[in-house]
């Protein structure tokens, strides 16, 4: 191992050093400061005679007299099943006062791409307990389904609700309870200390920590660490899924902070910027994260991702949500107007989409054909919202009895289906029963998207049936 004292420049989170031997890309580096502190970094760029190093802990204390050692290996994550229940910092070090991690193996955090031939198509339902997701934008094992939010909106509350409620429903063949092999990897990227405290209090209060691994990168941690945190989380998820047969749900918040770190590093490297100053390779970089979700043929486990991002100025055309939308299979939209009305969680089903929903739902588990019920709810809610605009012009008195039913439906849909609170865990059966109760406001002939047999079985004919269903 060679040691150099050839630092030529320090720029933001980057250190540049001269070398006289080839150095590999992503190679881990130790930098010893004149004060005796040892900082870790990673080779970001290597050319003949010169390397650029991104320092995880920040470049404070480093000067030209610091020593640089190249370790000859890439960054690895120590993985073991015993990580469940642990809290780690953004670099993978324990911060929960627990014992040292004794790894079963050490894995490269970059990971390996899943061979497309070996990918198994996502077709199995994950129950989040949130009606607007389970009923209208269903999450499927192996899917990547982002949440698009905005500054000040309660996406953290929604993330915590999903983390503590998400389960894989039992198989119909009467197999073992699959809740025991479901795990959550929670990666917090660039969050404030106040948010971190709220997350940890909720995890500990609800007991969700027992089946979770939490990675915490705080806002005052070095920006470079933010590029490492999601990769550590995903490496842990892949190990649990494909070696230990867990169904793993990875929640990453906030991807916007991750992209800001990419922009900061790109500016320090004096790269030619792309859209709005972000690096031109940001699409590729995000794809490297998102495409680590999936299932592998012959393996029991799965990796499902819910990345959360705040859209700057609520602009869905901003590069971060725009590129994310290209890579992922849909999006869940957290709506500001619904939030101002007090809806919890304020998810706008009209603009939300899960492209794999139809492959993960159907008959058997639910009341009727899930996809038909969902389509009918969508159609009725969309017509009710359109009529709200007309009411502003002509008033409700000018509308027909049919139109007024759709207006009433839109109001009740938001009050009873969307609104459920952050502590209410609804099964898919409960979600579909609420849907049938709302659809029973209309005459049967209006339900033109649902099979007649399902209407005959689940349609609520009168108020007594509605009351009985509500009581059940």
- Could you report the per-residue pLDDT of 255-265, keeping only the tens digit for each? 999 999 999 88
* Average confidence (pLDDT) over 75-93: 92
C-alpha span between 250 and 35 (Å, rounded): 39
CATH number for 78-360: choose from 3.40.50.12240, 3.10.290.10, 3.90.1170.50, 3.90.480.20.
3.40.50.12240
Q: Which helix (H) or strand (E) holds 149?
A: strand 147-149
- Provide the pLDDT for residue 221: 87
The yes-or-no verdict on residue 172 having pLDDT over 80 is: no
Question: Of 39-48, 168-177, 321-330, which range is least confident?
Answer: 168-177
Would you list the domain boundaries of the chain?
A: 3-74, 78-360, 370-471
Distance from the Cα of residue 367 to its chain's centroid? 28
- Can you list the pairs that 44-50 forms with residues at least 24 positions away whose Cβ atoms lie under 8 Å? 44/14, 44/265, 44/269, 45/269, 46/22, 49/18, 49/19, 49/20, 50/8, 50/16, 50/17, 50/18, 50/19
Q: 225 Cβ partners below 8 Å, 6+ apart?
A: 56, 57, 90, 91, 217
C-alpha span between 165 and 206 (Å, rounded): 10
| CB-facing half-sphere around the CA of 182: CA atoms within 13 A | 22
* Burial class of 196 by CB neighbour count within 10 A (0 to 12, 13 to 18, 19+): middle
CATH architecture of 370-471: Orthogonal Bundle (1.10)
Q: How many CB atoms lie within 10 A of CB 352?
A: 20
Mean pLDDT across the chain: 88
- Provide the pLDDT for residue 366: 54
Cβ–Cβ under 8 Å, residues 235 and 168: no
Q: Does domain 3-74 have CATH number 2.40.10.170?
A: yes
Specify the pTM: 0.88
- Could you report the per-residue pLDDT of 393-452, keeping only the tens digit for each? 888 888 889 999 999 999 999 999 999 999 999 999 999 999 999 999 999 999 999 888
- Provide the pLDDT for residue 363: 53
Tokens 């725009």 appear where?
A: 322
The yes-or-no verdict on residue 8 having pLDDT over 80 is: yes
The two three-digit tokens of residue 429, written as one number? 């059966």
- Could you report the per-residue pLDDT of 301-314, keeping only the tens digit for each? 999 999 999 999 99
Q: How many CB atoms lie within 10 A of CB 285?
A: 15
């Amino acid at each position: 191992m060679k040691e150099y004292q050839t630092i030529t420049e320090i720029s933001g989170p980057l250190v540049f050093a001269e070398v006289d031997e080839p150095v590999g890309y992503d190679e881990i580096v130790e930098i010893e400061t004149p004060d005796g502190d040892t900082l870790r970094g990673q080779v970001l760029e290597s050319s003949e005679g010169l390397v650029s190093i991104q320092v995880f802990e920040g470049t404070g204390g480093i000067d030209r007299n610091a020593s640089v050692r190249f370790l000859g290996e890439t960054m690895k994550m120590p993985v073991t099943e015993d990580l469940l229940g642990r809290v780690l910092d953004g670099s993978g070090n324990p911060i929960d006062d627990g014992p040292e991690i004794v790894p079963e193996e050490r894995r490269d955090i970059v990971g390996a791409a899943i061979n497309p031939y070996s990918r198994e198509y996502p077709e199995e339902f994950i129950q989040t307990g949130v009606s607007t997701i389970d009923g209208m934008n269903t999450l499927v094992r192996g899917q990547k389904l982002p949440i698009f939010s905005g500054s000040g909106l309660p996406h953290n509350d929604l993330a915590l609700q999903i983390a503590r409620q998400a389960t894989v429903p039992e198989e119909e063949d009467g197999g073992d309870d699959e809740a025991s092999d479901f795990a959550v990897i929670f990666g917090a990227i660039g969050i404030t200390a106040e948010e971190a405290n709220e997350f940890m209090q909720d995890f500990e209060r609800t007991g969700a920590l027992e089946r979770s691994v939490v990675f915490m990168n705080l806002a005052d941690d070095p920006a470079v660490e933010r590029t490492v945190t999601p990769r550590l989380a995903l490496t842990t998820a892949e190990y649990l899924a494909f070696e230990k047969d867990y169904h793993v749900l990875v929640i990453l918040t906030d991807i916007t902070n991750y992209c800001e770190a990419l922009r900061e590093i790109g500016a320090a490297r004096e790269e030619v910027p792309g859209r709005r100053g972000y690096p031109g390779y940001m699409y590729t970089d995000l794809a490297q994260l998102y495409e680590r979700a999936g299932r592998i043929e012959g393996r029991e486990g799965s990796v499902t991702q819910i990345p959360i991002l705040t859209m700057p100025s609520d602009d869905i055309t901003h590069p971060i949500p725009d590129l994310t939308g290209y890579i992922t299979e849909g999006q869940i939209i957290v709506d500001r107007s619904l939030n101002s009305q007090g809806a919890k969680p304020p998810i706008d089903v009209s603009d939300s989409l899960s492209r794999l929903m139809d492959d993960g739902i159907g008959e058997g588990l639910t009341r009727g054909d899930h996809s038909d019920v969902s389509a009918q709810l969508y159609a009725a809610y969309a017509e009710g919202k359109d009529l709200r605009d007309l009411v502003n012009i002509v008033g409700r008195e000018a509308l027909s009895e049919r139109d007024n039913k759709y207006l009433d439906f839109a109001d009740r849909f938001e009050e009873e289906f969307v609104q459920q609170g952050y502590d209410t865990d609804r099964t898919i059966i409960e979600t579909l029963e609420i849907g049938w109760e709302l659809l029973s406001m209309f005459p049967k002939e209006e339900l033109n998207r649902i099979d007649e047999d399902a209407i005959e079985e689940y349609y609520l004919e009168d108020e007594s049936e509605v009351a009985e269903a509500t009581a059940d």
